[in-house]
Amino acid sequence: MATTAPDPTTIDVAPDSQSEIHQKLKRAKAAGAAVRARISVTMGLAGGALVVVLVTAIADAADTLNYASAFYCIGIPGPPLLLLAVLPTDRLVIYGVAVICCGVSLVCGYFIADEAQRHARRKRRPDKADWTAVQYVWVVGFLCVAAVMSSAAGLPPRAALRRMWMSLGAVYLASALIWGYVCVTCVNGMERGSPEHQFFWIATAELFVLGVASSTPSFRQRIHAALLARDGQISSAASVAALLGRNDIDHVKAEAQRKFYGVELSQVRLEDLQQSTPDPALFARAKHARFDEIDWFISHSWHDSPDAKYSALQAARSKFVAANKREPVAWLDKFCIDQTSIADSLMCLPVFLAGCKQLYLFCGPTFLERLWCLLEIFVYLEMGGRVDDVTLVLAPPEGTDDVDAYFEERFARFDVSHATCFDPVERDRLLATIEAGFGGLDQFNASLKGVVADLLKRAADTPRGLERSFSVRASTRNL
């Protein structure tokens, strides 16, 4: 096998493969657009309108306080709704919303400080000192929000969005305490039982409820999951769209074709698998391939036993050579991704999976702890390709008596939030992709557990042995 790849422009690509992959990507893009319409457009318009009402109420509070308290009640849900419009993969939108929230906080702080100064000068209330103190507490709170929002610009998108939600929850809960104090003491001079007093109590309840909700990740994830639901199912095609990002389909296909490599298993040595860190030199053993030339997409954890992995691959290789009179060609990440630019290959993952004839899962003790492995399962089921076979290899730790029971227990307590990546930034990006497609990590957990349960059931029905192969086409219903 040549160690240098030919010019990609000279590689012929099967028209049928191209057409089928194009349709899959087109369907994913349509699902992504539907997600954006359901979440971003709906929540963005509603939240934006209510934020305008809230800022107007704060700006006019000095002159039309009775009306302002009513506007507070209407506008308070605005910021949470505006944040619900943001998906964790919307990098520029997240940073843009952080800037907007920072600006709105500064504007609100200015108006409240100005109102406090005017009240102090005009001496409109006998207890103006207490009321002015409360107002300045609000000013300090808005300045803190502005500082937190500005600091979010230095974080990865998902972490920045999470910080924005937590800060919003903290601000709402703190505001609920302040407003509760105002309602009890009437320190602002309002009459007990008046419409203004009643509106303040309603606003206090709103702030408390929304503060608790904003501080609870599962709440907003359930909202997104409900908006993503279609006929009782979550559209996994939307997750493929999240992988593609805003890239054009033709651009993704061209990049994937340029970066689509395979390696003959005869070129894979035990010492290669024993390395748990990227080795760019292995890329030289791979060759450029067409979308219909790769026999297996090998999904594995770099931290599982290299000896067991090598033995399983060589056993599968021997069987393949005996049946096909040639060496099997596999997509193996250690060899087929340029380790100096892994991030650029993320959008190509759906095409890589669709271009392989079979998915080979080497499931060791750490398989479910690796985000890439989990992502590859559901993307393969969505992108399907021309074949629907999966080869499952169960490799438990040495001394395990009941292999099936061992893996059933691990799959039962699986949680994607505990999965890891070599690069923390890459982990944040993959989790953001899952959240954007499934609405939340809990929804992904439930979907993948359903798929895995089906796979294990099929494996249990096959003859005993290390390697179990079975059709998984029907498993896509769980996604």
Token pair of 461 as six digits: 């029905």
Q: Is residue 18 helix, strand or coil? A: helix
Token pair of 310 as six digits: 């090598």
CB-CB contact of 142 with 103 (8 Å): no
Angstrom distances, CA of residue 80 to CA of 77, 206, 328, 368:
6, 12, 53, 33
* Spatial distance between the Cα atoms of 142 and 226, rounded to a whole number of angstroms: 32
pLDDT in tens, 418-476: 888 877 888 888 888 888 777 788 888 887 877 777 776 665 555 444 444 433 332 33
Name the pLDDT band for 116 (thresholds 50, 70, 90). confident
pLDDT in tens, 261-271: 999 999 999 99
Please tell me which of 62-71, 125-134, 399-408 the model is most confident about, judged by mean pLDDT. 399-408
pTM: 0.73
Instruction: Give all strands (DSSP E) within 81-192, no chain letters.
Output: none
DSSP 349-385: HHHHHHTEEEEEEEE-TTGGGBHHHHHHHHHHHHH-T
Name the pLDDT band for 1 (thresholds 50, 70, 90). very low
| Residue range 18-23: mean pLDDT, rounded | 77
Q: Which one, of 213, 168, 208, 203, lies nearest residue 182 by Cα?
A: 203
Token pair of 312 as six digits: 């399983």
- How do strand 294-299 and strand 356-363 relate by DSSP bridges? parallel
pLDDT in tens, 276-328: 777 778 888 999 998 888 999 999 998 888 999 999 999 999 999 999 999 99
Place of tokens 């079979």: 358
Token pair of 304 as six digits: 């599982």
The size of the chain, in residues, is 479
Instruction: State the amino acid at position 84 in one-letter form.
Output: L
CB-CB contact of 356 with 385 (8 Å): yes
Q: What is the per-residue pLDDT for 2?
A: 31
Most distant CA pair in the chain, distance: 97
| Residue range 163-178: mean pLDDT, rounded | 88
Q: What is the per-residue pLDDT for 322?
A: 94
Instruction: State the amino acid at position 221 in one-letter form.
Output: Q
Name the pLDDT band for 123 (thresholds 50, 70, 90). low
Quote the percentage of the chain above a pLDDT of 90.
11
CB-CB contact of 432 with 88 (8 Å): yes
pLDDT in tens, 195-249: 888 888 988 999 999 999 998 877 878 888 777 765 444 456 677 777 777 788 8
Q: What is the per-residue pLDDT for 16?
A: 55
Q: Which one, of 175, 110, 105, 94, lies nearest residue 146 by Cα?
A: 105
**Residue 230, beta-bridge partner list:** 233
Assess whether pLDDT exceeds 60 at residue 9.
no
CB-CB contact of 470 with 390 (8 Å): yes
pLDDT in tens, 62-96: 454 556 677 788 888 988 998 888 888 888 888 88
Name the pLDDT band for 17 (thresholds 50, 70, 90). low
Assess whether pLDDT exceeds 80 at residue 60.
no
Q: Is 31 left (phi over 0), alpha (psi -120 to 50) or beta?
A: alpha
Give buried/exposed letters for 397-412 (b at 16+ CB in 10 A, else e): eeeeeeeeeebeebbe
* Spatial distance between the Cα atoms of 68 and 160, rounded to a whole number of angstroms: 32
**First CA to last CA across the chain, in angstroms?**
39
Q: What is the per-residue pLDDT for 4?
A: 33
Q: What is the per-residue pLDDT for 386?
A: 42
Token pair of 458 as six digits: 């099929």
Quote the percentage of the chain above a pLDDT of 70.
82
Angstrom distances, CA of residue 470 to CA of 276, 408, 463:
30, 17, 11
- Helix axes of 424-438 and 217-228: crossing angle, nearest 10 degrees: 50
- Residue 384 CA, chain-centre distance (Å), reads 22
CB-CB contact of 253 with 291 (8 Å): no
| Residue range 354-359: mean pLDDT, rounded | 87
- Pick the range with the lowest mean pLDDT from 122-131, 181-190, 195-204, 370-379: 122-131
Q: What is the per-residue pLDDT for 261?
A: 92
* Spatial distance between the Cα atoms of 94 and 158, rounded to a whole number of angstroms: 8
